[in-house]
Chains A and B, each alone.
Chain A
Amino acid sequence: DTGVSQDPRHKITKRGQNVTFRCDPISEHNRLYWYRQTLGQGPEFLTYFQNEAQLEKSRLLSDRFSAERPKGSFSTLEIQRTEQGDSAMYLCASSNQWDSNQPQHFGDGTRLSIL
């Protein structure tokens, strides 16, 4: 079990720059989720994919955010023109549509710091 893998683990960038994160889910999982977690808070849902289709997006996901899962395997989350408020941990999780009572498996996240 290779688990959910996220890259990079840490990203420091200047305000206004674009950043892209990658998530590799567990191979047999067809659902993939992105969450954002700020210090002292629980994760907040951003968006989710079933296979390559992006089926739901949170209102938290402004126009500067875009997520893709082109082949239904790995996913990328891009933030354009980063702002101070984007500093957070970005978590990816995956699950299997056909095991609805199995837990979502999380990666260890990408910690984004905006200078």
Chain B
Amino acid sequence: KNQVEQSPQSLIILEGKNCTLQCNYTVSPFSNLRWYKQDTGRGPVSLTIMTFSENTKSNGRYTATLDADTKQSSLHITASQLSDSASYICVVGGSYNTDKLIFGTGTRLQVFP
């Protein structure tokens, strides 16, 4: 069964600190892995997208890594800000033809001052 699992489910950190979110997937075939940020009541917004040949991708303070051999990915957030409070969803693209996405349940991050 195609699955995307994320940990932790929720995380609380202080403003300015770094954090790392984890994603494990069992999706075949695999075309790409994406990280999305979703604010409460809003649609997901893309942060990074990586194909199997890429092992790291940065977008400002967000850095994603991918290990296609172990089927693991991480999202590292540097110098967190209050606006980083959101759900972060790991998403795997399982088909080159349809771009059908398989979503994890997300990690809920709260950044406190």
Q: How far is the CA of A101 from the CA of B32 in the complex (A)?
A: 7
CB <8 Å contact, A105 and B46: yes
Q: A101-B32, A101-B49 are in contact. Are A91 and B43 (CB under 8 A)?
A: yes
Which of B12-20, B67-75, B76-84, B96-104 sits within the interface? B96-104
Other-chain contact of B105, A31, A41, A45 (Cβ < 8 Å): A41
Q: A55-B98, A56-B98 are in contact. Are A43 and B51 (CB under 8 A)?
A: no
Number of interface residues of A (CB under 8 A): 26
Q: How far is the CA of A107 from the CA of B38 in the complex (A)?
A: 11
B45's closest neighbor in chain A, by CB? A106
Q: A102-B49, A106-B43 are in contact. Are A42 and B96 (CB under 8 A)?
A: no
B89 interface residue, CB < 8 Å from A?
yes
CB <8 Å contact, A95 and B100: no
Chain B residues lying within 8 Å of A7, measured Cβ to Cβ, are none
Chain B residues lying within 8 Å of A102, measured Cβ to Cβ, are 49
Chain A residues lying within 8 Å of B99, measured Cβ to Cβ, are 31, 95, 100, 104
- Chain A: minimal CB distance from B101 (Å): 7
Which positions 60-95 of chain A face chain B at CB distance < 8 Å? 91, 93, 95
- Chain B: minimal CB distance from A15 (Å): 24
Number of interface residues of B (CB under 8 A): 25
- Chain B: minimal CB distance from A35 (Å): 8
B50's closest neighbor in chain A, by CB? A101
Chain A residues lying within 8 Å of B42, measured Cβ to Cβ, are 108-109
CB <8 Å contact, B98 and A103: no
Other-chain contact of A100, B4, B89, B91, B96 (Cβ < 8 Å): B96
Chain A residues lying within 8 Å of B100, measured Cβ to Cβ, are 45, 48, 56
- Chain B: minimal CB distance from A18 (Å): 24
Chain A residues lying within 8 Å of B104, measured Cβ to Cβ, are 42
CB <8 Å contact, B43 and A4: yes
B60 interface residue, CB < 8 Å from A?
no
Q: A residues near B, CB below 8 A?
A: 4, 31, 33, 40-45, 48, 55-56, 91, 93, 95, 100-109, 111
Q: 16 A-B residue contacts at CB 8 Å?
A: A4-B43, A40-B105, A42-B103, A42-B105, A43-B89, A48-B100, A91-B44, A95-B99, A100-B31, A103-B46, A103-B49, A106-B44, A106-B45, A108-B41, A109-B43, A111-B41
